[in-house]
Amino acid sequence: MTDVHVTFRPNRRGQTAAGNSNAVYRELERRADKVIGRALEAYAPHSKTGEYGRSFEKQRTRIRGQAAVQVVNTAPHADILERGSGPHIIRPKNAQALFWPGARRPVAKVNHPGTPAYHFLRNALRAAGR
């Protein structure tokens, strides 16, 4: 699985007003916090274990020589929550069959219908920009 990344870069006015890179990074991190907050609000009704919500990180970086802050979610299922997944077959890894509480009998495979994309980060980024 891949991590989900959202990158913030300052505009010219922000760079001029900030004066130094630490101030730029602080402003970018403030904006990143706003996006993370909105993503967590949207995610809250879907939370089961809370792993996705705990897996947000801010990373300072440079893109083409300019200060940038990336919002990264390192949860194993972050990519599926953000982009969804298509129909696929689930097969057992080490066992001979799959079984879960409520199943009538063990089965060799399960046809999963796919998972809808929730776009938590994309929607949060758009909402935070308003």
pLDDT at position 108 over 90? yes
Single out the residue of 7, 130, 5, 122 nearest to residue 74, CA to CA.
5
Strand partners for 41: none
Question: What local confidence, expressed as pLDDT, does residue 12 receive?
Answer: 65
Question: What local confidence, expressed as pLDDT, does residue 40 receive?
Answer: 94
Question: What local confidence, expressed as pLDDT, does residue 22 receive?
Answer: 83
CA–CA separation, 58 and 72 (whole Å): 6
Structure tokens at 81: 């929550």
Question: What local confidence, expressed as pLDDT, does residue 112 receive?
Answer: 95
Please state the rounded mean pLDDT for residues 102-117.
94
Read off the pLDDT band of 25 (50, 70, 90). confident
CA–CA separation, 40 and 125 (whole Å): 12
- Enumerate the domain spans of the chain: 4-84+116-128
Model pLDDT for residues 26-67, shown as the tens digit of each residue: 888 999 999 999 999 999 998 889 999 999 999 998 888 788
pLDDT at position 8 over 90? no
Question: What local confidence, expressed as pLDDT, does residue 10 receive?
Answer: 66
Q: Do residues 106 and 91 make contact, with C-beta atoms less than 8 angstroms apart?
A: no
**Cβ neighbours for 78, distance < 8 A, ≥ 6 positions apart:** 1, 3, 4, 52, 55
